[in-house]
């Protein structure tokens, strides 16, 4: 998943995607512990995708905070 793909998603969609990936990561770690993991590189990919999503979530939240902080200042 590329970061450019995440720019179009809303905060709610990003949170849902993050939950999905975290669940998949959990399942892959269980498979790894039991010796049934077929694609070990997938763990690394998912971890990086989660990091990208969390970065985008942080960006969106900061944008929202900045808009809220600037709105009262403009009305004075």
42: Cβ–Cβ under 8 A, 6 or more apart, which residues?
Answer: 28
Number of folded domains that form the chain: 1
- pLDDT, residue 42, reads 97
CB atoms closer than 10 angstroms to residue 16: 13
**Domain that includes residue 67, residue range:** 3-75
In this structure, what CATH number is given to the domain that contains residue 52?
1.10.287.310
The per-residue pLDDT for range 15-59, each reduced to its tens digit, is: 999 999 999 999 999 999 999 999 999 999 999 999 999 999 999
Predicted pLDDT at 3: 85
């Amino acid at each position: 998943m590329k970061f450019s793909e995440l720019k179009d998603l809303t905060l709610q969609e990003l949170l849902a995607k993050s939950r999905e990936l975290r669940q998949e990561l959990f399942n892959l770690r269980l498979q790894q512990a039991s010796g049934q993991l077929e694609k070990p590189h997938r763990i690394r990919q998912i971890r990086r995708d989660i990091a990208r999503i969390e970065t985008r979530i942080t960006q969106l939240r900061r944008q929202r905070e900045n808009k809220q902080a600037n709105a009262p200042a403009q009305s004075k």
